[in-house]
Amino acid sequence: RKVRKNPQFLARLNPDTSNDLTGDGTNYQVIFNTEVTDDGGNYDNTTGVFTAPYAGQYSFGAIVNLANVINGGGHTVGQIELVTSNRTYRSEFNPSATSTANNRVTANINVNADMDAGDTAFIRVLVANSTKTIGIAGTPLTYFYGNLISSGGLV
């Protein structure tokens, strides 16, 4: 009987980004540039993209801590997306209504996604309805993770 390693990864963003990534409706692909673990070597920390080595169901999650969001300001539309080869999964929120005293908002998404071997997945954020002044707070506040939870083959 042949057994293969279960692919899994955890990556984080380090350091903080500049405060000019989104805010005006611009989509920004988050590159989680520091690998904590990457069993199987399927996450690329230079592009922020995970490539599925096997077909199956994968569990993905991400937490992105948006910075420079003014409470009660114009940034009233926010989205965090898991973009896969087959579809895009989205969670929406109102950043200006939920920002903290230090002008941060935590966006998160958790998805079980059907993937074929070679399919890719990455995280994208968008904030809209004001100016491009939003950045991302890095370690330990922003990370992306995933793992294979079931497949048709041996795991």
pTM: 0.93
Q: How far apart are CA 102 and CA 88, in angstroms?
A: 30
- Which tokens is 133 given? 């002044």
Question: Whose structure tokens read 């989680």?
Answer: 32
28 SS3 class: strand
Identify the three-state secondary structure at position 97. Answer: helix
Task: Provide the residue-wise pLDDT of the chain in tens; the chain has 155 residues.
Answer: 555 578 999 999 999 999 999 999 999 999 999 999 999 999 999 999 999 999 999 999 999 999 999 888 899 999 999 999 999 999 999 999 988 889 999 999 999 999 999 999 999 999 999 999 999 999 889 999 999 999 865 44
